[in-house]
Amino acid sequence: MIELAFSILASDFAHLADEVAAAERGGGTIVHVDVMDGHFVPNITFGPPMVKSLRAVTKLPLDCHLMIERPDDFISEFAAAGADMVSVHQEVCRHLHRTLQLIADHKMLPGVVINPATPVETLIEVLPMVHHVLVMSVNPGFGGQQFLPFTLNKIAYLAELREELGLNFRIEVDGGVAHDTVAQVVEAGADMLVAGSAVFCPGKTEQNARELLALARAAAPDKLAQKG
Ligand code: DX5
Ligand code: ZN
């Protein structure tokens, strides 16, 4: 199933509830929450209080992408705030298996993220325990960057591995996913599509989301295209 995970990083925070509602009307089914600490990435955003506010205004699953060092220290806070999925970067986790287990122990769905320059092979051992693998298609830290085409090979490789190993983790892609890039991303094998700047735009959010999803579904192989 192809799903749109809209990134609130590109939304108008002063009208967050309306922004989320507009993206949901357009067909978005996951709220993507970009947490940045100013250390792992050169930008700062928000943390568990934002998740708590979102939890109060939407029933959609909250997908927290932690671009932070020492994620273990914050897992219980994200759980208490109402997060449904938490993904951590391979590059910051010395004990990746332990961190993913900690997320699962808190009854959230664990995901692992790799930067554009990090090889898929670094994940082989943890693939059986993750709900999703998030492939960064830009260097993390900012919205509105250009999609890096070489990451398409990583998506395709992950889809192949999933088949070969008989696993069922989902493949999420994040960064520069827009109307002109989404078809390639889906063709490569992604099924959770993160998009921020291609979705949020005053007065056009609902339409943007709807059009992006339609393009994605049109590019999908049959088994991915169905809704629900
Ligand atoms: C980048 C974030 C992304 C970002 C995507 O570090 O992880 O989720 O918000 O933004 P767009 O869709 O504008 O590239
Ligand atoms: Zn993200």
Question: Which run of H or E residues covers position 157?
Answer: helix 151-165
Res. 225 pLDDT band, cuts 50 70 90: low
3-state secondary structure of 65: strand
DSSP 145: P
pLDDT of residue 228: 45
**For the chain, which residues make up each domain, given as ranges?**
3-226
Q: Is 34 an annotated catalytic residue?
A: yes
Q: Is 7 close to ligand 1, i.e. is its CB under 6 Å away?
A: yes
Q: What pLDDT digit, counting tens, does each position of 19-53 carry?
A: 999 999 999 999 999 999 999 999 999 999 999 99
Q: Which of 92, 139, 145, 200 to mutate to test the pocket of ligand 1 (most atoms within 8 A of CB)?
A: 145
Atom of ligand 1 nearest to the CA of 141: 6
Distance CA 58, CA 66 (A): 20
The candidate with the shortest Cα–Cα distance to 224, out of 190, 193, 199, is 190
pTM: 0.97
Is it the case that residue 224 has pLDDT exceeding 90?
A: no
Report the pLDDT averaged over residues 180-207: 98
Counting Cβ atoms within 10 Å, is residue 26 exposed (0-12), middle (13-18) or buried (19+)? buried
CA atoms within 13 A on the CB side of 36: 15
3-state secondary structure of 36: strand
Contact 203, 171 (CB under 8 A): no
Q: Is 63 an annotated catalytic residue?
A: no
Radius of gyration of the chain (CA): 16
CATH tag for 3-226 (out of 3.40.50.720, 3.30.70.270, 3.20.20.70, 3.30.830.10): 3.20.20.70
Pick the ligand that lies closest to the CA of residue 197: 1
Pick the ligand that lies closest to the CA of residue 200: 1
Tokens of 104: 């699962």
Alpha helices in 43-150 (DSSP H): 48-57, 75-81, 96-105
Instruction: Tell which wins on pLDDT, 72 or 224.
Output: 72
- Say how many Å lie between the CA of residue 228 and the centre of ligand 1: 25
